[in-house]
């Protein structure tokens, strides 16, 4: 089997997409988001949404699929972070 750029790209996409699953599991389990950056997850989630729109625009199903999953996971992590940040704010 020859290693084509497409295969390298698919391995890359699979790894970066799947990587958010253990983070989401850890966050759901511990509910601890102290070390997570709110700016990171806001910017990242917005970026993934743009990737999804990009995939839909050019009708690339690999980009649509990978970013739909990542969007779901990062939105989940971001929601926990926002909830904890609001809870900690003095009233």
The residue from 1, 2, 35, 89 that contacts a second copy (CB under 8 A) is 35
Q: Is 51 exposed, middle or buried (0-12, 13-18, 19+ CB in 10 A)?
A: middle
Contact 82, 38 (CB under 8 A): yes
Nearest distance in Å: CB 45, a second copy = 8
The reply on whether position 85 binds a second copy by CB under 8 A is no
CA 85 from centre of chain: 19
Over the window 3 to 32, marking each residue x when it contacts a second copy by CB under 8 A and - when it does not, the resulting string is --x--xx-xxxxxxxxxxxxx-xxx--x-x
User: Which positions ≥6 away from 57 have C-beta within 8 Å?
Assistant: none
Closest to a second copy by CB, 5 or 90: 5
| Total of residues contacting a second copy (CB under 8 A) | 41
């Amino acid at each position: 089997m020859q290693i084509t750029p497409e295969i390298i790209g698919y391995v890359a996409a699979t790894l970066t997409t799947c990587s958010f699953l253990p983070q989401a599991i850890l966050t759901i389990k511990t509910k601890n988001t102290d070390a997570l950056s709110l700016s990171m997850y806001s910017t990242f989630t917005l970026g993934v949404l743009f990737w999804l729109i990009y995939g839909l625009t050019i009708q690339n199903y690999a980009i649509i699929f990978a970013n739909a999953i990542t969007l779901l996971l990062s939105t989940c992590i971001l929601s926990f972070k926002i909830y904890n940040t609001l809870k900690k704010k003095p009233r």
